[in-house]
Structure 1
């Protein structure tokens, strides 16, 4: 079957593209199949030869705009999590990631989006220009996942000048600015100062990975735009990493958008990494619709759910829905949503209009 040269448009609000390029040593200009072939026999990471994301598949799926991360965790002595041994090293890693994005721009593969004018120009290219999707650059909005790499608060201004437009202060475990998934506590003194500096720059605050205490502190302190780039629902899968119904209500009141995440451990209970198999556990794309439904029921509409897939976020096909081979398969969500009674307008909201509306308001 001939591939559609201009598929429907999507925005994915969470992809670790540069991490995959710089630390996984993946040439994302190659198709996914080529990257998998090159990784055959490698055993240094669980997801070797199982990746799902590359620039050709983003274009094939019509995913013309992404929120792309910089990510580098600092770990103190005694912290068992993988990470870097000083904030300065972590900063250097994020700068290597930034250099990769810039190289992709120079190659015509990607284009950075930092304001409404650039956003509208890029949307015109993807929604109105009839040239094949394969010839169009993938737009990216730069986001920092975990703020540990900001050596001090002056580095936030440097990052802003480099195009950073969103920041999630925490990731996993204890953090220099805020506690993250699996940890206890909220924001440090320095973290609360970070929120103030972000507010001055009118950055987007990503509450993903904050603890329950940190979430409430952030909502109380931060006055600017807030989103949850890649989150699911605790009422369905009971884990601190998921949003409670009360948190969802708070985000709806803040006119936030929540991006559904496709990692299988957030779609089924008691997932065992490296042991369980998505097919045997029957973790399919349909599971994400359960989370969309739950948020839509709380909100009373489809204006607060979207895509924040986190595909290839240190996992691959071994920990993705079994009916997803590459990120281009996000298009299967169309039929799944229609089967649950979602209208074309609802589907457009989820695929791109909700993120678009949020960005236009945040950047106005």
Structure 2
């Protein structure tokens, strides 16, 4: 089934992990054998060939670069200008992939529909097709000022999450508290004028509610799970999920094990011992469907290359292509074929057609 993944950190992996994503997974992981500088060395599950194997023809692909002040212990850049430069390097990688015919940027309704025709109707094998990508910015710290936002839009930016982990320049993120402030509200106003999608993912509770109050554009949560199942501020409460549903948002289920099962200990727990399988993702998706009363607000936002790999993802997933296993699992849980289409691509497409159709 044609699949949309609403959250992959492809350029971060290409540049900061030094992975040649045009190569097969086996080759990428073999080249990392013995490396210990990253927690997931040798455990990658994402490559462009494996996206094609899984019929994942469209992704939301990120730029990401955090600014950190002197008292912020998180990794990041020491000035917004450095963060901006990092995101521009990431953009250059996407452009290089376009030049090579590996990827194609999707920015509007016409390019979306042309790409869907290629993947869903053209009989050519998936291995011969470019992966479509919608450019997203995860954390707005690199937006030095609103001129940078306009430059980013011209370069194809179509979705933006104002914060990532910790305190941000425009909003507060995971494990932080607090509100948007004047700069955050200005960012939302400019995003609304440019029709940039607000990605509510990672916003702390305070900033989440304030953002919804001050932003009248289109909202999604690209990779979020349910606090009712894993009690941590990274997940969203039922009230937050209901608020997103009321805005006709789509919430992408994420496959980072610590977000899927409670009591995960990083570097200690294993997917097998914690019973973290693809069925657990369906638990989260089903929880949202029960809140909504339908299957119209869930999708896939795997985050499968978000600084983890096989050591911290469902034990029955060895490659991102294995997302196709969800089809049979959803069917066994009573989901109709139409429901399954909604999860795999239909809901994201409905959202994009509405957002870009005006």
State the TM-score, normalizing by the size of structure 1.
0.97
Q: Deviations over 1:97-126 (max 9, x none)?
A: 000000000000000000000000000000
- On the 8 A contact 1:204/1:227 being kept in 2, the answer is yes
238, 246, 254: which one pairs with 2:231? 238
1:187 aligned residue: 180
Structure 2, unmatched stretches of 5+, are: none
- On the 8 A contact 1:176/1:188 being kept in 2, the answer is no
1:131 aligned residue: 124
Q: Deviations over 1:75-113 (max 9, x none)?
A: 100211011111111111100000000000000000000
288, 298, 315: which one pairs with 1:322? 315
State the TM-score, normalizing by the size of structure 2.
0.99
Distance 2:258 2:220 in 1: 22
258, 271, 274: which one pairs with 1:265? 258
Cα distance, 1:282 vs. partner? 1.4
- On the 8 A contact 1:172/1:183 being kept in 2, the answer is yes
256, 267, 283: which one pairs with 1:290? 283
1:201 aligns with 2:167: no
Cα distance, 1:270 vs. partner? 1.4
Distance 2:313 2:126 in 1: 25
1:221 aligns with 2:214: yes
Compare 183-192 and 163-172 and name the one that shifted more. 183-192
1:4 aligned residue: none
SS in 1 for 2:274: coil
Distance 1:37 1:188 in 2: 47
Distance 1:74 1:113 in 2: 28
Distance 1:274 1:153 in 2: 39
Distance 2:222 2:352 in 1: 12
Distance 1:51 1:83 in 2: 23
Cα distance, 1:188 vs. partner? 2.3
Cα distance, 1:173 vs. partner? 0.3
Distance 1:101 1:188 in 2: 32
Counting only pairs closer than 5 Å after superposition, residues 77-156 of structure 1 correspond to structure 2 as 77-156=70-149
CA RMSD of aligned residues (A): 0.6
SS in 2 for 1:53: coil
Distance 2:89 2:222 in 1: 23
Distance 2:151 2:52 in 1: 31
Distance 1:182 1:188 in 2: 18
Q: Deviations over 1:239-289 (max 9, x none)?
A: 111111111111111110000000000111111111111112111110011
1:45 aligned residue: 38
Cα distance, 1:186 vs. partner? 1.7
Cα distance, 1:309 vs. partner? 0.3
2:11 aligned residue: 18
Distance 1:78 1:270 in 2: 28
Q: Deviations over 1:224-250 (max 9, x none)?
A: 000000000111111111111111111
Query: Which consecutive aligned stretches of 4+ in structure 1 deviate over 3 angstroms post-superposition?
Result: none
Q: How many residues align?
A: 357
